Amino acid sequence: MEENRFPLIGERFPELQVETTHGMLKVPDAYKGKWFMLFSHPGDFTPVCTTEFFSFSRRYADFQKLNTELIGLSVDSTISHIEWVNWIEEHLGVKVPFPVIGDSMGRVATRLGMIHPESSSSTVRAVFIVDPNSVVRLIMYYPLEIGRNVDELLRAIKALQMNDKYKVALPANWPENELIGENAINPPPRNVADSKTRMEQSKGFAWWLTYKEVPANEVQEAKKFVKKKE
């Protein structure tokens, strides 16, 4: 991988030695055998970012149920992060349980393509979801003005894990898809012979669009993660 290019989906997450609010970490080695989600925010002591950290912290247990750890990052210093997470705990009543990378020189943010093009002092709201083999599975970028949806991130992690476990694809809005409901999509046939028999073997609309049921407990877990929290 080129040193100046940020990792793409399907590539190994680069090895980084980082300073965090929980001490020094070597990523991705520190999370070997687990999923992790590294996400950047524009800056400490800013309104949208504060609402995000409040939400991520309240939902941390849900990420852990999916064997997933969280790591925050911005181009603020570790000292600034410590002051901010202490403020969140003291004033909003929620402890931030995950580490936050201090990156005041912008080394990590630049390596991962997180620097906002209009401001070298801000990071965009980037998300990297990495699997237990340290492979990047999903990348999302949000602008400064829009906070992320925690339910969608949990749904995406669950869907990726379903893909690994059952070798299926998950439809739009799964597990509540408007066309096939809770079901998962079969990979399309890769040869003519299989395409001729696929509709005899599976439910669907065409040989290239068939689906099957997945275990009810998996569906219920997914619904639990995406339902609106009270």
Residues with catalytic function: 49
DSSP code at position 169: B
* Number of alpha carbons in the 13 Å side-chain half-sphere of residue 123: 29
**Distance (Å, whole) CA 55 – CA 223:** 18
β-bridge mates for residue 211, sequence order: 185, 203
Among 75, 85, 89, residue whose Cα is nearest residue 122: 75
Per the structure block, which two tokens stand in for 99?
Answer: 């580490």
Helix (H) or strand (E) holding 80: helix 78-92
Integer-rounded Cα Rg, in Å, for the chain is: 20
3-state secondary structure at position 192: helix
